Amino acid sequence: MNPPLILVLCTGNSCRSHLAEGILRAALHGELCAASAGSKPAGYVHPLAITVMAEIGIDISQHHSKHLDEFLNQNVETVITVCGNADQACPMFPGQVNRHHWGFDDPAHATGSDEEKLAVFRRVRDEIRRVFEAYAAGRLDGLRQPSVRS
């Protein structure tokens, strides 16, 4: 049986959701599954998202932009939205147990020089990393605790 799926949603599925998916996959060590999707997929993963993830040793270069409908028939246990638009557009998935919304700035809207844009991508990556690594640690702790019976 496949482990439960944690689905990270964003509108375009080009930046924030892929940053979160990559970080979550690395932090979960395969004990739970993580994927990402969008309500209006952009059709690509932003090159700077790939760059800043490579800087921390996580390869998302093979990720691709997906529509959330691709997951409607899967065992989605948790949905985490990382932008307000996705939070509003998010459907309920069959069997879904948990739902969280943690909003982050969209680094794709960064302006300025290449270095200034990279700085925004790094900041958002680091913010996402703090939240999602803590979430993953809590989930893994929960899996390792013996169930309490009354």
Task: Kindly indicate the confidence band of residue 92, based on its pLDDT and cuts at 50, 70 and 90.
Answer: low
Other C-beta atoms within 10 Å of 31: how many? 13
Q: If we measure between CA atoms, which residue out of 75, 103, 79 comes closest to residue 24?
A: 79
Asked whether residue 121 is domain-assigned, the answer is yes
In the chain, % of residues over pLDDT 70: 88
Angle value at C-alpha 85, between 83 and 90, nearest 5 degrees: 95
Asked whether residue 30 is domain-assigned, the answer is yes
Asked whether residue 59 is domain-assigned, the answer is yes
How many folded domains does the chain comprise? 1
Residues 6+ apart with CB under 8 A from 97: 77, 78
Among 27-31, 54-58, 85-89, 133-137, the range scoring the smallest mean pLDDT is: 85-89
pLDDT of residue 150: 45
CA 53/CA 43 separation, integer angstroms: 19
Asked whether residue 150 is domain-assigned, the answer is no
Asked whether residue 149 is domain-assigned, the answer is no
Asked whether residue 123 is domain-assigned, the answer is yes
Could you tell me the residue range of the domain that residue 116 belongs to? 5-144
Residue 83: CATH number of its domain: 3.40.50.2300
Asked whether residue 17 is domain-assigned, the answer is yes
**What is the per-residue pLDDT across 29-82, written as a single tens digit (0 to 9) for each?**
999 999 999 989 999 999 999 999 999 999 999 999 999 989 888 888 899 999
List active site positions: 10, 83, 90
**What is the per-residue pLDDT across 5-24, written as a single tens digit (0 to 9) for each?**
999 999 899 999 999 999 99
